[in-house]
Amino acid sequence: MEKSEADQQFELELYWCIQQLENTLVTKKMNPKQAQDVTQSLKVLKSQKAPLVKKRQLMRMTFGDYRAKMLEEQKKFSKAYHRAEISIASPNKNSRYLRKKSAFVKVRSIRNNEGEEEPHIEANQRDFAYNPSDNSFRFNFSDTETK
């Protein structure tokens, strides 16, 4: 049995309201009466036996125009996602990435005192030398037990 589009939309709205109430319980400091009201609302919204009309009424009383709030939140997250997508897609124009011996080195231009641009290597692989350890360090644990 397939769910109709209206049923799917209601489920989406219901889950949004439940999530908002759970976040309220976790993040806000409330007096015991407010916490009890929020928990009771959650119990009704999560109940399988509660009628749909009662759930819608509770959602409207608790959040007001919850559909508008959902759209506002969706727009906010889509804008943030779009900004993050743009910042990832457009690299810094003053930086170049070179590969040297399977290590990435970031090179950027820096102006010296005379105003000339000089390349500057941030991760200098030439100065790094690996020296193997002789593993001479040992913990001094005694084998005898003290009784």
H or E stretch at 95: strand 95-100
So what's the pLDDT on residue 105?
47
Whole-model pTM: value is 0.51
Domain ranges within the chain, ordered by starting residue: 5-88, 91-127
Q: What is 97-132 written as a DSSP string?
A: EEEETTEEEEEEEEE-TTS-EEEEESS-STT-----
Please state, in angstroms and rounded to a whole number, the distance separating the CA atoms of residues 86 and 81.
9
Ranges in the chain, pLDDT < 50: 102-105, 124, 147
Tokens describing residue 143: 């084998």
So what's the pLDDT on residue 88?
63
Tokens describing residue 19: 């999530």
H or E stretch at 57: helix 52-63
